Chains A and B, each alone.
Chain A
Amino acid sequence: MPPAQADTGLAALSDQLILFTVLLYVVAMFAYAIELAGARARRTAQKAKTPALATVGGDTAPPEAPEEPAGPARASDRLALVGKAAVWLTVAGWAANLGSVVTLGLATGRWPWGNMYEFVLAVCLTAVTGFLVMLLRHRVRYLGVFVMVPVVLGLGIAVRYLYVQAGPVVPALNSYWIAIHVSAAIIASGVFMVGGVAGILYLIRGRQDEKGLLSRLPSREDLDRVVQRTIVFAFPVWTFAVIAGALWADRAWGRYWGWDPKETWSFITWIVYAAYLHARATGGWGGKRAMLIQLVGFACLLFNLFGVNLFISGLHSYAGF
C-alpha cells in the first residue's frame, strides 16, 4: 500500500519540471516551424530518392546521395542549425518531461499514471520518445512541429484543466497491473499519436506537384511510410494493452470482459486499426482510403481517452474526472 501522503517537495518539483517541459517544447516547436518554413519545396529532391537500390558492386557506394540540393549554402546551413537546435531543445524537454513523471512517481510512491493528468503527461512523453527514436533512424525532422503542436496542447490542457494534486489512488488502482496495462496503453497511444499527426499531414499534403506552402511538407510516400511504421509498432502494443486490461479486470472486477464503455471503445479502436492494416494489405484500398481509416482509428483513440471519461460513466470513471 503506497503512503497516504505524497512527498510535497518532490511533487512541487514535478510540477515545476512540467512547466519547464512545456516551455522547452514550445521553443522547439517554433524552431521546427522556422526550419520547415525556410525549407525549399520538397518535390524534386524526394523524387530522386528511389527505393534503396543496393548497389553493392565493386566498391560500396554510400547508401544515399546527399539530399540537400545546391543553393544558397549559407541560408540552408543556418536553417539546418535551427533544426538541430530544435532537436536538442526537444531532447531537453523530453528529459524534463521524464523527470516530471519520475518525481511524481517518487513523490507518491506508486506508478505515476493513476489519473488523467498523469496519463496525459506520460502519453506526451512517449509521443516525444517515439518521435526521437524515429529521428535516430530516419529523416523525419520535418514532423517535429506537427508532433510538438498536439504534445504542447495536451500538456497545456493537462496542466490547466486536469491537474490533480499528487496523492494516493483508490484501492481498485492499487495493483501491479497498472504498471503493465496502463504503460502499454500509454506507449501505444503516444505512438498512435505520431501516426495520426502524419496521417493528417498526408491529407493536407495533397498531390505531388503542388505549389506554395504545402509543397514544403514531406511527400505523401514519406508520410505514408511513417504512418505504416507507427501503426505496425503500436497495434500489437495496443492489442497487448487491451488483453492486459482484460487480465486486470479479471482480477479486480470478476470478469475479463464486460463491455464497460472504456472496454468497448478500446475494442472499437482496435477494430478500426485492424481495418487499416487489412486495407493496406488489400489492393485498391491503399493510399488515401487507408489513411482515412487510420484517422478514424485515431479519433476513436482520442474519444476513448477523453470522451469516455467526460461523457459516459463507467468502471474507468475514477480515471480523473
Chain B
Amino acid sequence: MGIVGWARWAWRLLTSMRTALILLFLMALASIPGSLLPQRGIVPEDVVAFYKENPTLAEVFDRLWLFDVFAAPWFAAIYLLLFTSLTGCVLPRLRKHLAEIRRKPPAAPRNLNRLPHHGSYRTDVEGEQALAAAQTLLRKRRYRVVAGPGWVAAEKGYLRETGNLFFHFALLGLLFAIGAGALYGYRANVIVTEDEGFANTVAVYDKYTPGSLATEESLHPFSFQLDDFNATYVLQGDRRGQALDFVARLRVQDRPGAPERTFDLRVNEPLETGGAQVYLLGHGYAPTFRVVDGEGKVAFDGPVPFLPAEQATFTSEGVLKVPDAKPAQLGALGLFLPTTVPVGEGFGSAFPGMINPTVNLFAYHGDLGLRKGPQSVYQLDTDEMTLAAKTEKPLNVGETLTLPEGRGSITFTGVREWISLQIAYDPGRLPALIASSVAVLSLVLSLTVRRRRVWVRLSDGNLEVGGLLKTEGSADGFAGEFGDIVTSLRGVVQPVKE
C-alpha cells in the first residue's frame, strides 16, 4: 500500500460511523472535567484557590489544560476530528442525495405481493385509465410518480435525508459561527456608580477580554449616564430579603452626537446599542466619604464601591485609599451594613435593602505602597501603615471619625449604589441562532419523515398495489397510509360488482 492507499484507508476509517460514535463519546468524556474542575474562563478565583490548596496537583492539572478544558488543544483535536469525520460522511451523502432527488422512482417489481405491504383487487376499468387514476391519486398525495408499461411507481419522503443533511451542515455552520464570534468579538466588565457616566473605551474597563482578531476599533462608541439603581426585596415572610427586581435607569447615547434616550436596564433585559449588548450582572453599595487630611485640606470626596461579602444581608467590605493626603497617606478598611441591627456585642445587617445604613472603619496612616506596582482597589497593603483609629460604634450618615494627633478626619457623607455590567459584542450570535434553528427544524424532519415507495401494477384485470417502507422503525404509520391509498384507489377505479 502506497501513501495514497494509506491516506485512503485513514480517511475511510475516520469517516466511518464507528469512528464518529467513538469521537462523540470522547467529546462527552472530555467535557466532564470541565464541569467538575474550576475553569479559568468562568471562575478564575476558584482556580487560584485550588492552586493554594493543592499546589502540586494543580500544577499537573494545569499542564494537562484541565483548568481550560474547552480551550485545550486535546479538546480542539476531538471536535476538529469529529467535524472532519462528519464532513467526510455527509459530503458523499449529499452527492448521492442530489442524484437521488433528480432520479425517478425505480420501476415496479414483478411480484408486488412479495412486498411487506400489499393489496390487490379486480377491476373492469380500462387498464390505462386505472393507472392514470392511480397516478393522479398518488400525485395528489404528493408522491413523486413515474409510469411505465402497465405500472406506476411512486416515492415520497425525500425530506428525511434532506433534513438529516441540513442538520449536519447546520452543526458545521454553528461551529463556524461560534469560532467567528470568539475571534472577532469582545467582552468587558465594568462597575458604574450612580450619577456617574460611562463611555465605551478600553481604558475604563475593569476587565477586557478581546477575541484574538478584535481591535480597539471594534469597540462601539456608545456612552451612558447611570441616574439611579433600584433593588426591590421581599419585605416579610419566609423569603424576607429575597430580591424581586433590579432596575438601573440609564440615559444612553448610541454614538457621539446621537440623541439621548432613556433605558431601564434589568437582569433579563440587556441594553442593545449598535451591535453590542450591555448586561446587568450585579450590584452593590458605594458609601461616600469626605476625607480631610492633616493639613486641613479635603483630600478625597466621593463614592467608594464596596463588595458584598454576604449576599443575604449585603454586608459589604471595601477599602478607602487617599494617596493625596498630607503629611502622610491615609487608608481605611470599611465594613458597610445596609440595615444595621445590634447582634450580640456588636452590630450586623439584617436586610439587603438600605434601611439603616452605617459603616465601620479602621483608619490607617503611612504609605499605601502604590509605588510598588499595581494593586487591587479592594485590598489595603498595611505593610508600611499603622492603625490610627477605629470606629467604636458604626458611623451613621453625617458622622465623622476623627484621627488622633491631627492626622485628619473621615466623614461618612452618604451612600450610592453601583452596578456591575458586562459589555459584549459577538458577531457570531445571529449566525449561531440561524444555524441552530435550522438544526432543530431539520432534525425534526429527519426523525419524523419516512421514505416510502408505492407501486401499482396491472396484470390480468387485477390491480396490484405494493408498498415498501425504506426507513427502519415501526411500520404502523405507513400501514395506515397504505391502507388509505388502497381504499381510495378502489373508490376511484370502480371495482367489479361481484
Contacts and interface: CB of A to CB of B under 8 A. Distances in A.
A51 B487 CA distance: 21
A225 interface: yes
B237 interface: yes
Contact of A4 (B31, B36, B118, B244): B244
Contacts of B117: 53-54
A236 B42 contact: no
A243 B178 CA distance: 14
A277 B24 CA distance: 12
Nearest to A300: B28
Interface stretch (A16-24, A169-177, A192-200): A169-177
Contact of A56 (B32, B440, B447, B486): B486
A251 B429 contact: no
Contact of B28 (A177, A255, A271): A271
Interface stretch (A83-91, A153-161, A203-211, A261-269): A261-269
A51 B116 contact: yes
Given A251-B269, A258-B42, A57 B447 contact: no
Contacts of B80: none
Contact of B443 (A53, A236, A265, A278): A236
B35 A1 contact: no
Interface residues of A, number: 65
A171 B34 contact: no
B153 interface: no
A140 interface: no
Given A171-B245, A239-B439, A52 B447 contact: no
Interface stretch (B191-199, B214-222, B370-378, B468-476): B468-476
A268 B42 contact: no
Interface in A246-276: 246-248, 250-261, 264-265, 267-268, 271-272, 274-275
Interface in B454-482: 467, 472-476, 479, 482
Interface in B236-284: 237-239, 242-246, 266-270, 277, 279, 281
Among A58, A228, A235, chain B packs the most CB atoms within 10 A around the CB of A58
A171 B267 contact: yes
A5 interface: yes
B234 interface: yes
B450 to A, nearest CB: 11
B21 A279 contact: yes
Contacts of B235: 4
Contacts of A58: 121
A247 B429 CA distance: 10
A165 interface: yes
A275 to B, nearest CB: 5
Contacts of B472: 280-281
A194 B271 CA distance: 42
Interface string A295-311: 00000100000001000
Contact of A54 (B28, B119, B426, B429): B119
B432 interface: yes
A248 B239 CA distance: 25
A252 B268 contact: yes
A7 B168 CA distance: 48
Contacts of A243: 436-437, 439-440
Contacts of B439: 239, 243
A168 B447 contact: no
Contacts of A44: none
Interface string B306-325: 00000000000000000000
Contacts of B474: 225, 228-229
A72 interface: no
B18 interface: yes
A321 to B, nearest CB: 15
A159 to B, nearest CB: 17
B17 interface: yes
Contact of A252 (B21, B267, B447, B483): B267
Given A63-B479, A177-B268, A275-B24, A254 B424 contact: yes
Contacts of B18: 282, 284-285
B480 to A, nearest CB: 9
Contacts of B483: 54, 56, 60
Contacts of A268: 28, 31-32, 35
Given A264-B35, A279-B21, A282-B21, A236 B475 contact: no
A277 B483 CA distance: 29
A303 B473 CA distance: 29
A171 B268 CA distance: 8
A240 B440 contact: yes
Contacts of A252: 267-268, 279
A214 B448 CA distance: 33
Given A168-B244, A278-B24, A312-B36, A52 B31 contact: no
A312 B479 CA distance: 49
A276 to B, nearest CB: 10
Contact of B440 (A239, A251, A256): A239
Interface in A164-189: 165, 167-168, 170-172, 174-175, 177
A56 to B, nearest CB: 4
A256 B242 CA distance: 26
A239 B445 CA distance: 14
A272 B28 contact: yes
A232 interface: yes
A167 B479 contact: no
B288 interface: no
A267 B279 contact: no
B425 to A, nearest CB: 10
Given A54-B483, A255-B426, A308-B35, A1 B268 contact: no
A264 B31 contact: yes
Contacts of A4: 234-235, 244
B479 A1 contact: no
B479 A275 contact: no
B187 A52 contact: no
B39 interface: yes
Given A235-B447, A271-B27, A259 B34 contact: yes
13 contacts: A1-B245, A51-B116, A54-B483, A56-B482, A60-B483, A232-B448, A236-B447, A243-B440, A246-B436, A254-B424, A260-B42, A280-B472, A282-B18
Given A254-B277, A264-B34, 12 more contacts: A52-B475, A54-B117, A54-B467, A167-B237, A170-B243, A175-B268, A247-B433, A248-B268, A256-B426, A259-B39, A268-B28, A281-B17
